[in-house]
Amino acid sequence: MNRTKKILLALLIVFIAIQFIQPAHNKAVQVLPTDFAKVFVVPNNVQSVLQNACYDCHSNNTNYPWYSNIQPMAWIMARHIKNGKDKLNFSDFGSYTSRRQISKLKGIANQIKDDEMPISSYKMMHKNARLSKEQKDLIMDWMSRTADSLSVNN
Ligand code: HEC
């Protein structure tokens, strides 16, 4: 066997070996009472954008595509989900202090405005997560208004 073949064989063995190390899935059995949609009266069109474009990384329930079982995809995804949930978890939203809720609502509007979220690698694989101008305006507007109404009450 020449050198190139040996390297390829070694890579193949590593690729197969890492398939056996799978991170735990982010799958909750029930929707918590602290879920965003239970804490606020969220219009259907707003909720469906959040569900399609954000909940995979920002809730306790990820909709896993088929390739999520292939390494190293599963690790990359698990990392996005962990970091995403640490910063913003729609399933836990009701447990945040109102100050934190206001700051997250404004943060969501800003991330959409700056086109930072959903992250681009995700948009490549998820057509539903590529938001139209109307969808962006809808989310920004609703998030800002909700943040303002909380600010008035607190
Ligand atoms: C593929 C995973 C993924 C998707 C889908 C996604 N996010 Fe994120 N999001 C992340 C990660 C990872 C971070 C943390 C980034 C960092 O630490 O720099 C983050 C950070 C954020 C933050 C910053 C929170 C803070 O307080 O710092 C906001 C707001 C946010 N995302 C909103 C959204 C919204 C709204 C959507 C849907 C339109 C969305 N994200 C879709 C992964 C994702």
pLDDT tens-digit map of 4-20 = 999 999 999 999 999 99
Atom of ligand 1 nearest to the CA of 122: 1
Total length of the chain: 154
Query: Is the model's pLDDT at 154 over the cut of 80?
Result: no
Q: Which of 114, 108, 119 is nearest to 141 (CA)?
A: 108
Q: Which amino acid is at 143?
A: M
Buried b (16+ CB within 10 A) or exposed e, 43-56: eeebbebbbbbbbb
Closest C-alpha residue for ligand 1 atom 3: 57
Q: How far, in Å, are 8, 65, 88, 139 from residue 79 at the CA level?
A: 28, 16, 14, 26
Rounded to whole angstroms, how far apart are CA atoms 140 and 102? 13
Which of 86, 87, 102, 115 gets mutated to test ligand 1 (max ligand atoms within 8 A of its CB)? 87
| pLDDT reading at 3 higher than 90 | yes
